[in-house]
Structure 1
Amino acid sequence: MTIHIAAAPGDIAPTVLMPGDPMRAKWVAETFLDNPRCVNDVRGMLGYTGTWHGNPVTIHGSGMGMPSLSIYANELIRDYGARTLIRIGSCGAMQPHVNLRDVILAMTASSISTPSSTLLREVNFAPCADWGLLQAAANAAQAHGTTPHIGGIWSTDTFYDDRTDLTDQLTRHGTLAVEMETAELYTLAARHQARALSVLTVSDHLQTGAALPSDQRATGFVAMVEIALAATFPD
């Protein structure tokens, strides 16, 4: 047990999928895992452990933003021995060729700052995905009949952001999408020699203003979850 996770020793699997929304964690666990059981509900941040094709998997919410994710990822790695962490979440497209419901595999994640920035001080650390997971996810997506976008994304500290100039420059430099967690996840994985990847579904578009209705966000994320699981446990 930790400050934020009430799971008992052995309750957390070595592989953890991390959606931001705790209710999405519940949906993923009940939809994809066999015999899921709730192993954490502290502060409403739900975590479930079950099996997928016989492999133990934990689905645990991360909350919104890098500070929240940092708390859970640190405790999952440090105190529960998680070795593979995959963020499954939504993002906002920044490129015209990226469409709603498309899947993005985040190779790198840019940011202004993360909770780890105080450790790195003046260094502009370049957080990136684990290559083995990235390659496996790309293969899993193709097998699923999905062609993912693979490249850099933008992890921002703010949801309501008036820095249109920054968005314009990131778009100009080929950034695929924006979300709020990946840069810190990749940094923590590097620090603790764990594996990490973000598999994202486009839920809205910064250029067109298009967005998925709230009732379609969960059900539209099936491919993302299947890709994440298949990447972790390739045949």
Structure 2
Amino acid sequence: MLSTHIAAQRGEIASRVLMPGDPLRAKYIAEKFLDSPKQYSQVRNMLGFTGTYKGVPVSIQGSGMGMPSMGIYSWELFKEYDVEQVIRIGTAGAFQNDISLGDIILSIAASTDSNFHRAFDLPPSYAPSASWELLKKAATVGDELKLNYRAGNTLSVDAFYDTTDGWFNKWLNMNVLAVEMEAAALYLNAAFHKRDALAMMTISDHILTGEEFTVEQRMYANDNMFKYALEIITR
């Protein structure tokens, strides 16, 4: 065991990793999409698996919810296991009227209300952003698969429940596409370690209309995104 929170030995984690927030979703993806998946960690029930997709080694590692948790797991993947590429696969809430439930969002850059940047002695003006290589491949693969995806700015927040009236209006006005809770931390860690990262999210609820997926849909309605991410990371 090399890291504090991941019970894997060197070589058990692939250089290409998908990170869903939910560890049960990691198990679902590994068992449904990977060949010969093997579990390498269950510390704190944050499950991790390695298998192959079309002959290419891929790992699926749960991240948990929020930037502190994503920050821990992605840091250890980059630093302790020499992971080269990470794609976050999760859900997000839409800000814009022309985005629908089930649409896939590619986060070009992640604005944030978090103080996570202070761990790197950075000002809040720093812009955490995706890897161009992964973003370019995502656009190519998305077009090939004829998926309904959008690329743009997203927002990473610390609080899931915000009691401030109209808190989202300033972000909506700046054409921020969606809100989630992990991308900025992933992008900061990737930048520090000079690795590639991309956050992609299926829209599971709409901030303006109040529409939302059921609990079951949140678990199982993301198969198109899972296959999309696997196609990107194995090219």
**Separation (CA, whole Å) in 1 of partners of 2:165 and 2:118:** 23
Amino acid at match of 1:153: T
Kept after mapping to 1: 8 A contact 2:16/2:84: yes
Question: How far apart in 2 are the matches of 1:54 and 1:70?
Answer: 29
CA apart distance, 1:142 = 1.5
Partner of 1:131: 132
Provide the residue aligned with 1:150 in structure 2. 151
Q: Quick one: distance in 2 between partners of 1:170 and 1:60?
A: 30
Matched, 1:195 2:205: no
Task: State the partner residue of 2:177.
Answer: 176
Give 3-state SS (helix, strand or coil) of 1:70's partner.
helix
Query: 2 CA distance for matches of 1:84 and 1:231?
Result: 10
The CA RMSD measured in Å over matched residues stands at 1.1
Secondary structure of the corresponding residue to residue 167 of structure 2: helix
Q: Unmatched 5+ residue regions in structure 2?
A: none
8 Å contact from structure 2 (residues 23, 48) kept in 1: yes
Written as runs of structure 1 = structure 2, the 5 A alignment for 1:1-235 is: 1=1, 2-234=3-235
Q: How far 1:114 sits from its partner (Å)? A: 4.0
TM-score (norm 1): 0.96
Give the Cα–Cα distance (whole angstroms) in 2 for the partners of residues 127 and 67 of structure 1: 15
* Identical columns (%): 44
Q: Distance in 2 between matches of 1:199 and 1:32?
A: 18
- Secondary structure of the residue aligned to 1:104 is strand
Mean CA deviation greater in 31-40 or 121-130: 121-130
Shift in Å, 1:122: 3.0
How much does 1:123 deviate?
4.8
Q: TM-score, normalised by structure 2?
A: 0.96
- The CA deviation string for residues 152-197 of structure 1, in whole angstroms up to 9 with x for no partner, is 0000001011234431100111010000000010111111000000
State the Cα distance separating 1:116 from its structure 2 match: 3.1
